[in-house]
């Protein structure tokens, strides 16, 4: 059976802008732990936070987040 997982490119986009997790957290006014858990796929952000992250990183939400299929 297949299940859909949310993947993200936050780490990649951060690297492009040479931003640390802390700096990105400051830009979107969340804690560094929150950025870390989103990057690791442990926490799925709200639509509002996803939009704030995409604005802070200068990419679209679709570039930042997407669904990937994996076997359950």
Partner 1 sequence: MKSSPERADLQRRLILAGAIIGFAAAQTAMILDRITEPSYLVHILLIVICLVGWLFFGVQLLLMFKMENSLRKEPDVKLALNDEFVRQKRGKAVAAAFWAVMIVQAAIILLNLVIPFDAGMAAQVTLTAGVAVVIVGFLYYDREDGDA
Residue 3 is a binding residue for partner 1 (CB under 8 A) = no
Instruction: Round to whole Å and give the CA distance between 60 and 42.
Output: 21
Contact range with partner 1 by CB under 8 A, out of 9-17, 31-39, 53-61, 63-71:
31-39
Q: Is 46 in the site for partner 1 (CB under 8 A)?
A: yes
50 lies in the site for partner 1, by CB under 8 A: no
Q: Which of 9, 30, 39, 51 binds partner 1 (CB under 8 A)?
A: 30
* 61 contacts 10 by C-beta, under 8 angstroms: no
DSSP 30: -
What's the first-to-final CA gap in the chain, in angstroms? Answer: 6
């Amino acid at each position: 059976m297949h299940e859909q997982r949310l993947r993200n490119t936050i780490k990649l986009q951060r690297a492009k802008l040479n931003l640390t997790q802390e700096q990105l957290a400051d830009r979107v006014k969340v804690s560094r732990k929150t950025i870390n858990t989103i990057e690791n796929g442990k926490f799925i952000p709200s639509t509002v936070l996803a939009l704030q992250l995409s604005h802070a990183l200068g990419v679209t939400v679709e570039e930042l987040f997407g669904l990937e299929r994996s076997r359950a």
